[in-house]
Chain A
Amino acid sequence: MKVKVNRRSVDIFDGARARDAVLRYLVLRKMDVSLIRQAEFYDALGHPIGADSPLAEGQVIKVKNI
């Protein structure tokens, strides 16, 4: 499925969680995957969400503090 992380399209497995999509985002941006430990996750409207939040096709999330 395709989701968006910080406006970047990320292709990830069905059933992925916010953490999985952000891990893929970090790799695609050639950033250190260990940054996941300090990442803060938000939905499209800016609500904080958990790293374990389930994702659906087309969902938009934002990640900060990386």
Chain B
Amino acid sequence: MKKSVSVILCAILSVTALAQRAEVHIVSCNDVHAKIENMPRLAAIVDSLRAEYPGLLVLSAGDNRTGEPLNDMYDLPAYPMVALMNQIGFDATTLGNHEFDSGPAGLSRLIDLANFPHICANVFPEPKWGMHLRPYEIFDVNGISVAVIGAVEIGPAGIPDSHPDNCKGISFKPVQETLQQYFWLREKCNVVLLLTHIGYEADVELSKDVPWADLIVGGHSHTQIAGGEIHNGILITQNVNRLQRVTHITLTLENGKVVDKKAENIEVGTFPGENVACAQLLKFFSANPDFQRTLCELTAPLTSAEELGCLMAESFRVMGKADVGFVNAGGIRYSTHEAGPFTVADVLRLDPFGNDAVMLELTGEELKQMLLACNAADGYGFPKVSGIECELIRDKKDPTKLKDVRIIWPDGSKCDLKNKKKIYKVVTNSYAAAVSASPRKDQGHAMNYLTSQMIIDYLDGKGSVDFSGVCHLREATK
């Protein structure tokens, strides 16, 4: 009889112990940058994991947008990603620096259209934006309370890495000191997860300051971590950008405390299977008629890369409010266009690289040296310019070699190369700024303004445009 009672007691104790052991499963992505064609496969991954783990949390560590014109140039910019994330059933996202790319009003609209909360503790929008951000959210995963606290990187200028105009009317606080204010969530919840968009190195630093957190699901630096890494007792995860991989995190809890943390990467691009509803939604967004929208009418056909390059350089100069604009010759992707409508799609074919605009402040001599350096590195000919005329001086023995260039202002005067006090604002694309390794004091700064968007903004609503025969380069006659 005594033996039977012992067996029954052991069985009850085992059942209790089992009941006190639980798992939390999370799928996380970061820096998707609107890789919308991978979203149906991500949806299939989520579906299969959710079938096995019904309480699955699906999280994004920010920068969901910016990188795919179908998404970023949608009528309501970046709405396709929000719609696809709604379809997949994301539980939360934090803000990445690129979430600010359509300004506070645009971000506010997207947050309202999302079926999941946007969590970011160090962002404080003015009430006029009606931006429904939350610093944290507590999720109930089969009786386990999981606190998710969000944070975004703050750059040297005191704002995330976006155009300053996009951050007007929003204040930001440092990540580390902000997150410390949420220590109380440790007492309240079984799991504390930091959903950050601050970069891998900053995540490792942060782990020293928040030993009370269980894990950091990170983004921003596009760092591929194999599964997860433990730093200072905290599990840190992140994947390379554009949805190549996601991370499946498994937290094991005993008596309500995390006792084991594991993470594995799942390849998205090669995952066999797609969610049908998500695939249909993608098809709908891919057939966006807005791409065929006419920006302006070309009154005459464009018959050379020179003319199209001048159009690009003029867009950079005007939209960048600069004295000079230029584009490397290799950055012009076609050389003819018939007269008539010039569409958004035409711009995206002309400038498909996703280059950012870069603003530099240069002396006349520095500008000349930069143009020569761009010519030498690009290999497709002299850059196309706006705001100046350039006289190309060839080597007499080898006319294929460019010896020098003479810069002439629109009034016909020559650029004074000896005047080091006169500074010119110059806008070019990030490729030209990178390959032009000439001596200059100012290396410039990225404007967080895509050059393709500059061209669209320049042409949009202009009515008729004529760049036929426009050429700002000529061969020197003496």
Contacts and interface: CB of A to CB of B under 8 A. Distances in A.
Contact of B448 (A12, A15, A23, A24): A15
A27 B220 contact: no
Interface in B206-260: 220-225, 240-242
Nearest to A59: B201
A54 B430 contact: no
Given A1-B443, A52-B241, A28 B377 contact: no
A49 B222 contact: yes
The 4 closest A-B pairs by CB, nearest first: A15-B446, A50-B222, A48-B224, A23-B434
A60 to B, nearest CB: 10
A25 B214 CA distance: 39
A16 B434 contact: yes
A24 B445 contact: no
- Range, interface on chain B: 35 or more
Contact of A16 (B225, B373, B377, B430): B430
Dominant secondary structure of chain A at its interface with chain B: mixed
Contact of A13 (B33, B223, B445): B445
B437 to A, nearest CB: 5
A48 to B, nearest CB: 4
Contact of B434 (A24, A52, A56): A24
Contacts, number: 87
Interface string B375-419: 001110000000000000000000000000000000000000000
Interface in B45-76: 67
A15 B161 contact: yes
Contacts of B139: none
Contacts of A43: 200-201, 221, 223
A20 B433 contact: yes
Contacts of B445: 13-15
A35 interface: no
B161 A13 contact: no
A11 B241 contact: no
Interface of A: 1, 11-17, 19-21, 23-24, 27-28, 33, 43, 47-50, 52-54, 56-57
Given A13-B433, A24-B437, A54 B161 contact: yes
B353 to A, nearest CB: 10
A13 B222 contact: no
A49 B240 contact: yes
Contact of A15 (B221, B222, B356): B356
Contacts of B161: 15, 54
A52 B67 CA distance: 10
B125 interface: no
B315 to A, nearest CB: 19
Given A12-B443, A49-B240, A50-B241, A27 B377 contact: yes
B430 A49 contact: no
B404 to A, nearest CB: 20
Contact of A23 (B240, B379, B431): B431
A33 B240 contact: no
A28 B430 contact: no
9 contacts: A13-B434, A13-B445, A15-B161, A49-B240, A50-B240, A52-B67, A53-B241, A54-B161, A54-B221
A16 B430 CA distance: 8
A65 B341 CA distance: 44
